[in-house]
Structure 1
Amino acid sequence: MTKRVLFTGGGSAGHVSVNVALIPRFHENGWSISYIGSHDGIEKEMITKQFSYVPYHGISSGKLRRYFSVKNFTDPFRVLAGVMQAFRIIKKEKPDVIFSKGGFVSVPVLLAAKMAKVPVAIHESDVTPGLANKLAMPFATRIYTTFQETLQHMPSDRSVCAGSIIREDLFKGSRAEGERITSLKPAKPVLLVMGGSLGAQGINTVVRNSLDQLLEHFSIIHLCGKGNKAEIQKEGYIQFEFVTEELPHLLEMTDLVVSRAGSNSIFEFLALKKPMLLIPLSKESSRGDQILNANSFVQQGFALKLEESELTEESFITTVRQLRDQQWTMVEKMENAPPSFTIDQMVNEIALLGK
């Protein structure tokens, strides 16, 4: 009898990336796979584009806000509608187990899973759990964390630190292909700058204003976000709005990374032994999770941190130079980092819940 797994998670690329890593292995193992996400979130594009064999079901979901909004009064009704929609999908798909990566769309799915008595596994990426996972935790059969520190916030009898689940294609990059994609033939170290799937205006501006000084020491690959490319042509500098299949090749030719501090991305850099300068989202722009993520990596010697409030051309150039000077010390510490679960280990963990 064919085993069935249902995935959920969305709202940002980080709430989908682990699902993207796990789905191909479940498919190879003969599982029937389905996905519940929002009607128009980034998860729909990521899943439908990459996995033609995965039925995608959109449901109604409300955004979980920590600030006042009139929609806070209407969104509970959208969540309730999403619960009923998810319940009907679960009864139709009959999954043996559900895996949730979080995000607001996962809350109605996990409520419906409890109603349908289907076991649920949750993966929490950040040092402290996000609001969606906080709401979903009571309905979870098993909770997996990325950071060891997160276990103190979780029920001890149902939680384990699995680390970050890294998709296998990231380890298959080709430097030659990266050079073809970028048209760079760098004799200098390569600095990869990325501000997340939507880019980061402050980072983009500082990098561009500092180009002349940076290009004396680095070749630069700049992932600037959709709609954020600038009319700049300088030797040794290349811009992309967003990359998908090209990323493993760009990372293979990269020596140092400047990035936000989203958990999935920084653990990918750790797995690839790429020293990083992290510029986390401020507390004014987020719940502060990226600051905690960055602090953890700084304490372990994997990264340097520059607060967004301190980001200037001078501080940026100074810290990038410090990163270059500490590169090999960071690589050595990365090589001794505790291993994360492999994809096969994570798949086996989830499969056991469905028995």
Structure 2
Amino acid sequence: MVKAATVYDVAKHAGVSIATVSMTFRRPDRVKQSTRDLVLASARALHYVPSASARGLADGRTGVLGLFSFDYLLPAEAAVLPTEIAFVREDPDERCREFPLYVDEIQRGMELACRRHGYALMIGGPSRSGGADTVTDIAGRVDGLAVFPQTLPDDALERIAGRIPVVAVSEPPHDDRLSHVTVANRGGMRAVTEHLIREHGRRDLLFVGGLNPAEGRDRFAGFRDALRAAGLRVPRKPLVPETRATPSGRAAVTLPADLRLPEAFVCATDDVALDVLEILAGRGVRVPEQVAVTGFDGIVAGRVARPGLTSVRQPMAEMGRLVVDVLLRHIAEPGRAPDFHELPVQVVLRESCGC
């Protein structure tokens, strides 16, 4: 390979100082037009590409933000690509059960915001070994980091937050040094539960889903708020279903075969709700005639499911954009106190509740 041109080569070719070349690429508005044209012409002639790491050494910035995300979208086995065109009797919307999920839409919002601000986005997830090597590697290469719930231990987050800004996504704030961007989990779940009670007369409701991460606890609290306000029995615990691995590697919930059928399943997430719909269909239970089902998140799969899934939609892309805005504010103001943002949600009514 031909040795890559350096800033020194461009400066010599253009007959200007190294500082002028650097300023042309970092702050072109501060370089005279004729000089800027000369430097850029030399860069093109030499196939010169500015080094992001070199710029980082100069101003202490990398121009990159990080996102530490789940890795559960990776299939258990690598997909084998077809070698020729084939005809299959398969619903193309089946892929929506695995992609895109809410993490993907938040990531997309971050990507758009990074592009607008001239940043790149680096994405990583927990290592298979469970070590902290991946996040340490990412944190050392970025100016700020966004993390999803339960992807990193609290002590690791605390260490990273002592060096770069960190935003916890979807998690309500607690005693930490992190900024938080989340949604109205409690209020949204209360609203959809009240809809089932008031508009559809459902009075025997069962909450399905775990209480971790903390957003699950908030959603269960909203469910209990609605029952209490309606004078109905308030359960102390939700139904936490067992899970099984699907052929694609996704974890799907299961319901006990002898489970007494309530009037409505109020599910902690759309992913759980869609599994419940499949289980009920397999058992010959009609939705919503015999039982209503609702979810939370507003993922694409809920729109194409039959019946369509009533859900509480998070403003996922907007969350991603806001995460970037928060990180950039803290990069510009290193001593700034942590931010907390709770975005509103929307109850989307479809067939699964009876609407």
TM-score, length-normalised on structure 1? 0.34
Higher-RCO chain (CA-CA 8 Å, sequence separation at least 6): 2
Q: Which has the larger radius of gyration?
A: 2
